[in-house]
Every structure is written in C-alpha cells, then in structure tokens.
C-alpha cells in the first residue's frame, strides 16, 4: 500500500496546481503568463527568504543577536518565522504584480497569479517527495554496510527507513492535502495583494502579510506544542477554509470588464472624393462640439 500512497502523494502535489491553472484558464479566461509570473514571484521570494533564515540562524548561534529566554523561544520563533514568510512572499507578490503585470488588476487574474505562486511551491515539494520515494525504495532492502557509512550513520538511516515504511497509509497522503490547503491560502493572499494595487490601498498588503504570518506562525506553534499530524493538518485546513471565505467575499458583484483591442477597420473600394472627406470631417467635428460638455 505504501508503495502506492507515497507515489500518489508526490504526483498529486505536482498535478494540483496544473489542474487548477487549467480550470482558471478555461473557466475564467485567464492567461498562463500570469501563472508563470506568480511562479517567478515565489522563486524570487525564496531567493531572499532562505538566505535570510540561514543568516539569522547564524547570528543567533554566534551570539551576535541575543536569543530570548527558553520559555519564550517557541513563541518568538513562531512570530519571527511567520513574519519573515509573510514579508518575503507578499512583498514579492506585490512587486511582481505592480511592475510585471500592470494591466492585470482583476479578481480572476489574481487567482491565476496565486495559482502560479503556490503552484511552484507545490511542484517543488512534490518533486522532493518523489525523489525521497525513489531513494527509500532503493534502500529498503539494501545492505547498509556496503554504503560506506559509519556505524552511527547506518543506525540513523535504518531508523529513518523503518519510520518511512511503517507510517500509516493515510499519513503518507497528508502532503497532498496540505498543498491543497496551501493553494487556498495563496489564492486569497493574491487577491488581497491585487486589491492593494487596484484600490491604491496598502492596508490590503498589510492584511496579506499578517494573514500569511498568522497561518505560518500557528503552524510553528502547533509543531512545537507536539500536535499530531492530523490535528496539525486540521488547523491548516481551518486557515484554508477561512481563505476560501475571503476569496468569495472579495469576488466582485458585477462582471469585470474585459479590455479588448479595437477591431481593425478594413476599407475596400475606391477612396472617398475630397468633397465627401470634407463633409465627413465637418460632421465629425459637429458631433464632437455637441457632446463635449455632456
């Protein structure tokens, strides 16, 4: 069973954003270029986010920054990690939408952008799950003494293999469930950031940063408090449900206007005579004079 469920978990994580993109493209008429732009915004956010995390960790470890008392470390980590994630990702989302998609300011375009932003994350995690799966299948019946590892490394690897192949089957599918919940979060965050641009109100950007920070911080607290996998995913699911409510609450009540290029006028036949051209110009000027004060 685990041979199947681990494989399904990784494949579903990769397929989820692609299916979502196809749905949004066909149902709402959004462009795949927005999906790609959203994916680029996630990549750039992590180029900043990951080195920042390593740098802060080194500063705390070397005593350059003072660590909080042990009783406050869990809360401190939850707040810090949540804010860093919210700042890095939402600021990247804002700048990519502002400067890379200047003509995209609608609710449906925000959804496509969010599908790409969260989609790249899901695809990366799905790829890691599949790589881990291949390695674990290869090592399951291998002779660990032939791998050139020390005794401690062999013991650690044997323990890891035992845990991997003894997990309940439903636990092995939680990765795909979590990516589904995360996509709901990314859609709502993208709509918030899009509102910051379309309404020229940075409070929406602040709301996106705080919602992101709250969700990530709560996850860190849950992990530190020793919540089981199912309870932790239930908490993440509650944030996803809240995100869905936000998405539909922010949906425009009136159909959004679609800006289309004016049709090209092709003139056939003989060109108009000078008298006809002058008459047409006079009629046009008269129409302008009659309507310019309306």
pLDDT in the model for residue 266? 44
**Residue 184: is it exposed, middle or buried by C-beta count within 10 angstroms (0-12/13-18/19+)?**
buried
Please state, rounded to an integer, the average pLDDT across all residues of the chain. 89
The proportion of the chain whose per-residue pLDDT surpasses 90, expressed as a percent, equals 77
pLDDT in the model for residue 168? 94
pLDDT in the model for residue 281? 54
The answer to whether 92 and 41 are in contact (CB under 8 A) is: yes
Q: Is the pLDDT of residue 239 over 90?
A: yes
pLDDT in the model for residue 145? 82
The torsion angles phi and psi of 171, rounded to 5 degrees, stand at -65, -35
**Residue 189: is it exposed, middle or buried by C-beta count within 10 angstroms (0-12/13-18/19+)?**
buried
CA torsion angle 55 210 212 189 (round to 10): -130
Alpha-carbon distances, residue 255 vs 93, 107, 120, 145, 188 (angstroms): 25, 10, 29, 66, 19
pLDDT tier for residue 147 given thresholds of 50, 70 and 90: confident
pLDDT in tens, 224-235: 999 899 999 999
The 8-class DSSP code of residue 256 comes to P
User: What is the largest distance, in Å, between two alpha-carbon atoms of the chain?
Assistant: 100
Q: How many CA atoms lie within 13 A of 172 on its CB side?
A: 22
pLDDT tier for residue 254 given thresholds of 50, 70 and 90: confident
pLDDT in tens, 76-118: 999 999 999 999 999 999 999 999 999 999 999 999 999 999 9
Q: Is the pLDDT of residue 269 over 70?
A: no
């Amino acid at each position: 069973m685990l041979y199947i469920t681990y494989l399904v978990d990784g494949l579903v994580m990769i397929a989820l954003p692609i299916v979502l993109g196809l749905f949004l493209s066909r149902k709402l008429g959004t462009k795949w270029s927005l999906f790609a732009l959203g994916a680029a915004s996630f990549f750039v956010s992590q180029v900043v986010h990951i080195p920042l995390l390593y740098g802060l960790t080194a500063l705390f470890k070397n005593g350059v920054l003072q660590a909080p008392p042990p009783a406050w470390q869990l809360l401190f980590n939850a707040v810090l990690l949540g804010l860093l994630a919210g700042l890095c990702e939402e600021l990247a989302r804002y700048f990519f939408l502002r400067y890379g998609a200047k003509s995209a300011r609608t609710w449906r375009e925000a959804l496509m952008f969010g599908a790409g932003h969260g989609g790249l994350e899901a695809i990366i995690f799905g790829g890691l799950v599949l790589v881990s799966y291949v390695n674990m299948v290869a090592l399951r019946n291998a002779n660990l003494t032939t791998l050139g590892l020390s005794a401690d490394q062999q013991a650690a690897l044997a323990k890891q293999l035992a845990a991997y192949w003894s997990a309940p089957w439903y636990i092995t599918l939680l990765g795909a469930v979590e990516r589904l919940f995360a996509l709901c979060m990314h859609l709502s965050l993208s709509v918030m950031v899009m509102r910051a641009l379309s309404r020229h109100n940075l409070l929406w950007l602040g709301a996106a940063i705080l919602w992101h920070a709250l969700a990530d911080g709560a996850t860190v607290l849950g992990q530190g408090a020793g919540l089981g996998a199912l309870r932790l995913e239930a908490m993440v699911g509650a944030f996803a449900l809240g995100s869905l409510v936000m998405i539909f609450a922010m949906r425009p009540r009136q159909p959004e206007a679609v800006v289309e290029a004016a049709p090209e006028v092709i003139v056939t036949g003989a060109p108009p005579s000078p008298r006809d051209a002058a008459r047409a110009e006079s009629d046009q000027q008269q129409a302008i004079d009659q309507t310019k004060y309306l």
